[in-house]
Structure 1
Amino acid sequence: MDMSFALFTSPGTVVQDGEYGYQNLFDATVDALYMAVEKLGGHNVRVVVSETGWPTAGGAAASVENAMTYNQNLVKHVCKGTPRRPRKVEAYVFAMFNENLKEAGVEQNWGLFYPSTDRVYPISFSA
């Protein structure tokens, strides 16, 4: 998968699904869930993304730069909605703090802040 599709940085449509064009994986995933729920009769169900984010270390493509890009672009993007549902998407960044007591690797490195409360990278929550 092209990283720009995952990081909200694609310059144009990457996936065309009928009348809906997708520039990022987040929208494609959320809309796939909406479509599945609608097929089961849940036309008025609101989807809430309870965890989304990007690790800063410990795995493939995990870096401070990618985490900052993903999370900042997520904040800007959720106010616009998805191609199927062009209204705000309620989403929560995983995680507020790096978890130094978890097993070493990617699981320790999702936070916006270190356990010391120093920030890992700058982010603005203004859309």
Structure 2
Amino acid sequence: MLDLSQYLPILLFLGVALVLSSAFVFLPMAVGRLTGAHKPYPEKLTEYECGFPAFEDSRSQFDVRFYLVAILFIVFDLEAAFLYPWAVSVFELGWVAWTSMMIFIAELALGLVYAWKVGALDWE
């Protein structure tokens, strides 16, 4: 015989999560409509993405430099994520860890110099 009472805490957890997430989504919209904050006008309803206004066709191509800057941001953000735990434990890890991190930082610096020389960081 299958005892379904073991699943009751999971079902309660899922029910509470569903109620709370629905409240966080729909309650602000309802309050906005009741208080008058929902007053659309053409400027408010315009699409925006990447800091410049929408133009012509939605399938038109974006400038690749935007994506290069975004990728560079992610790379250097990941560098910071790798650098902090290394800095905390560098003295226990020894010279091999120090050397490998210096090689990693040098590779990132070379990549930054290359992106700078190519003009990926210039914004018009």
Select the structure with the greater relative contact order (CA < 8 A; seq sep ≥ 6): 1
TM range (shorter): under 0.3
- Provide the TM-score with structure 2 as the length reference: 0.24
More helix by share: 2
Structure number with the higher strand fraction is 1
TM-score (norm 1): 0.23
